[in-house]
Amino acid sequence: MINIDLWLYGRIAKYGGSADQGSHANLTVQLAENATMQDLLSLLGFPPEEKGITFINRQLSDMPGLAADLDRGLADGDRVAIFHTGSMWPFQYRHEVAAIPEMQKAMRQQEGGLHHDYH
């Protein structure tokens, strides 16, 4: 088993059960060793359409509509932060944010490209 440090922000905090603080929830989730992000969402009963901006270990892993990290394997001690689709991403964090390889690929494949840094 692995332990995931999970943070849920905004209206999705309700999926944190008793850890729901209204604006957020922080809980430790136990999963099987080869678990993926999809496994985590399924365990919580979390509908994918409510999954907004997502970080794994402080790296951008998904944005609404991309589903870039659903097959991403999770490891013991990973910190996962998921924001509701209605949550805004603070502007000051948008420039040159580190992203997992799956997210970088999804951004490149978008028609016209996604940009998180403008010069």
Domain ranges of the chain: 2-109
Q: What is the pLDDT of residue 94?
A: 53
Q: What is the DSSP string of 55-106?
A: EETTEEEE-TTT-TTTT-B--TT-EEEEEETTSPPPGGG-TT--B-HHHHHH
Q: Hey, what CATH class is 2-109 in?
A: alpha beta
pLDDT tens track for 27-49: 999 999 999 999 999 999 988 88
| CB within 8 Å of 91: residues ≥ 6 apart | none
Whole-number average pLDDT of the chain: 84
Query: What is the value of pTM for the model shown?
Result: 0.79
For 14, list phi and psi in degrees, rounded to 5. Answer: -60, -25
